[in-house]
Chain A
């Protein structure tokens, strides 16, 4: 369902994504893990047509996100890392806006919006402006919105960031449910390793733009001789804390420090 081959993205002299390859079969839940600044979001931005790759090949549901943009776009739904709702519109209007953009016929759209809003338990708040919603409610609404056009693939970029355990549990139960009933392929990133361990069938770990390990959570634990995915992750990516978006000078300094070590 998702194929990536030798994908590379360079920003000037900085290589954000370095020659990665991965493949996600139809109907699978796939976790894409990595420290901050490893290249997760950049990869998702390329897969979802927001950014052009420097080189490499991608296929989403058989379509190339670079050349068959619209076909590829119809194939996926996405929940972005940062909020992407129009806060001045109501929950219902946000859903409807999405449905119209994806050309879901009116009668089908109405039914689906209602069904999805009930599904994420926001139906009785449908006419409230989104700016009055809590973080968890917004997240649920974004997930519901990403599903209005019945995508084959759902991208979730840190969907549970900053949410309490109850809401996280809630959200994952929806997603697992959708994956089972609609055979929807799910591609997600997260910093909560136990989440990935519990939900994902396959995991890829990316660090400094390169994929350092791939396999089931079991295999990764086995490979690193650790008992939890968190430990496996640390064993694979090291314990150094990463800084996202360092300036050019910081970059030089970091390199120098590393060489002196």
Chain B
């Protein structure tokens, strides 16, 4: 327990200490909200979609959780390069505990990030549809955060250095974000795109957040919850296994 706690605490300390990282990671969602929100707002309205800021905000929250969570997971590569990983790996604690501590830490940071973006979106004009649903929205926030931190850990366990990082960014993170329904409704899209969105875990996260914060679901909240929950469980097991196999 103490092992998991100290690893969790380390992630939080690192997060709160890098002010530039916090500001940097809030700038992007804010830009998306302002530029896309107000840019596409009138067209979206005219097309009968309603208020675009209301529609977009859950997607942008999901995006900021995705980025923060995945990077927290991938930080293991940094730790490997800066040598700190060895310090944890020679300690008399199980690898699984190390992986869980890190993942919880990363997921906490990513969830916080999601909450901050939600607060920022209030300034832009977003209004949650119901206070009673906020706890459920938070549950989805945590699930998305856990899922992508565990995914980041899994990927990082397979990579030796930061060489593959750009690859992951362009061929994994960006497609996950753009093909998730974060920016546009999934209804009425070409079949191929719908198929891709249906196997994209973030789609279910976005859907869950949209269903609890704004209006309208595509897959249904129960479905969202189940899919996210199952993938989180699988990734924790796979990530834990791969992490335990790391040799440095």
Contacts and interface: CB of A to CB of B under 8 A. Distances in A.
A80 B80 CA distance: 13
Q: Is the interface of B mostly helix, strand, loop or mixed?
A: helix
A188 B18 CA distance: 36
Given A88-B14, A88-B18, A97-B10, A50 B84 contact: no
A102 B86 contact: no
Contacts of A80: 83, 86-87
Interface residues of A, number: 32
Interface size range of chain B in the complex: 20 to 34
Interface string A15-54: 0000000000000000000000000000001001111100
A235 interface: no
A50 B14 CA distance: 26
Contact of A84 (B6, B13, B17, B86): B86
Contacts of A201: none
Interface in A46-89: 48-52, 69-71, 73-74, 76, 78, 80, 82-89
Contact of A101 (B13, B93, B248): B93
B215 interface: no
Contact of B90 (A50, A85, A96, A103): A50
Contacts of A85: 83-84, 87
Contacts of B17: 88, 129
Interface string A84-124: 11111100010011101111000000000000000000000
Contacts of A70: 92-93
Nearest to A100: B6
Interface of B: 2-3, 5-6, 10, 13-14, 17-18, 82-84, 86-93, 247-248
Given A51-B247, A84-B84, 12 more contacts: A69-B92, A74-B92, A76-B90, A78-B90, A84-B82, A86-B10, A86-B14, A86-B82, A88-B13, A100-B5, A102-B91, A102-B92
